[in-house]
Amino acid sequence: MSSRRSFLQKLAAPIVALPLLSEKTKAGSINPLAMPYQGPVLRVAIMGLGSYGRRVADAMVACKKAKLTGVISGTPSKIKEWQSKFNIPEKNCYNYENFDQVKNNPDIDAVYVITPNALHHDQVIRVAKAGKHVICEKPMAINAKEGQEMVDACKAAKVKLLVGYRLHFEPKTLEIVRMRKDGELGKIMFFQGLSGFRAGDPTQWRLNKQLAGGGAMMDIGIYSINGSRYMVGEEPIWVTAQETKTDPVKFKAGVDETIQFQLGFPSGAVASCLSTYNMNNLDRFFLNGEKGFGELLPATGYGPIRGRTHKGELDQPHITHQTVQMEEMAGIILEGKQPIIPVDGEEGLRDLKIIDAIYAAVKEGRKVSLKV
């Protein structure tokens, strides 16, 4: 298994044929994607035409509020392929040298940046300066300093910066968050997040510090970081962390293989998490309170997510994550909609501050205080 993308894709394999719900869900509520829509549409260009960019593009076919209208790539053959498949006109196609010209293109409202982590900072700032809204894949940047500069640039340009946190719209995830908010779990005591798989191809960009900014923590561990925050419902105030490296040839200096980390929260709740590129079968969130619990297993795959609580199995139906994400992000950008769990640049910046602190805790061997 060569990457997180293929790991998550494998988890999704059984449900490829079930991209959308019928008009009525199990709970009897209406599926918004099955209803007529005549409102404004967010016109999106995707930057980076790799496997995940393709997944997003395919998912957007079912969107009502978002439409793929442009592409940005350094590979001409990919641009031609996407033009044919998604009916994209030549005038909406750009490369990495000239994409600043989107400034003058009324067919594009937002750019979704899906490139290697280390490229996000400069590309997002260029898009913002071109006056377009930005959606950026996670991690938003390779450190908090870069993340802050991206947030500041988008504010200065008066454009929105959103981060590709698809799970913030996932129904079973949101149900556990609702139960926690409504007090059904009681006082939260503990969260466990397990995020990992065995990385394959040693030449992939995710194992290149200059492109990835790190290793497993940047790619898969961020799920447990982010999940601990929205599951517990607080921001951590300290972190401790320990790194294990069994293959220093494959995982070179600055590319973490396995990190265990612990987070402490103001209420006294604690989190124990694992991020790894060297173990399979690790995709679980567990939230424990004085009155009950919530579990997601798998927790972060492309779906279906499976979950249970002390009250029984969760049966919220599955909709393709990227379809829902793009619909909801269109609502945020076009209608000022407020998501239950934030997906803005400040949310991405908080995760980066925690990642910085985890790496510091590993290096210094001590508890690191946090203020995110």
Number of domains in the chain: 2
Q: What DSSP state is assigned to residue 242?
A: E
27 and 148 part of one domain: yes
Tokens of 351: 């995760």
99 and 212 part of one domain: no
240 and 121 part of one domain: no
Whether residue 325 is contained in a domain is answered as no
138 and 175 part of one domain: no
Whether residue 338 is contained in a domain is answered as no
192 and 156 part of one domain: no
157 and 304 part of one domain: no
C-alpha span between 191 and 41 (Å, rounded): 38
Digit-coded pLDDT (tens) for 295-324: 999 999 998 999 999 999 999 999 999 999
Digit-coded pLDDT (tens) for 103-144: 999 999 999 999 999 999 999 999 999 999 999 999 999 999
Domain boundary among 164, 192, 227: 164
- pLDDT of residue 102 exceeding 90, the answer is yes
Does residue 103 have an active-site annotation? no
147 and 235 part of one domain: no
Whether residue 327 is contained in a domain is answered as no
C-alpha span between 251 and 107 (Å, rounded): 43
The residue range of the domain holding 22 is: 12-164
pTM for the model? 0.92
Burial 159-190 (b: 16+ CB within 10 A, else e): bbbbbbbbbbbbbbbbbbbebbeeebbeebbe
pLDDT at residue 5, as a whole number: 57
208 and 88 part of one domain: no
176 and 92 part of one domain: no
Whether residue 106 is contained in a domain is answered as yes
196 and 280 part of one domain: yes
Catalytic residue among 94, 223, 302, 359: 223
User: What are the distances in angstroms from CA 276 to CA 49, 246, 367?
Assistant: 26, 11, 21
51 and 135 part of one domain: yes
Does residue 132 have an active-site annotation? no
C-alpha span between 372 and 354 (Å, rounded): 8
Could you give the 3-state DSSP secondary structure of residue 131?
coil
pLDDT at residue 22, as a whole number: 36
CATH of the domain at 101: 3.40.50.720
Catalytic residue among 64, 65, 132, 138: 138
Domain boundary among 117, 143, 164: 164
42 and 173 part of one domain: no
Domain boundary among 164, 182, 210: 164
CATH of the domain at 207: 3.30.360.10
Digit-coded pLDDT (tens) for 191-209: 999 999 999 999 999 999 9
Whether residue 76 is contained in a domain is answered as yes
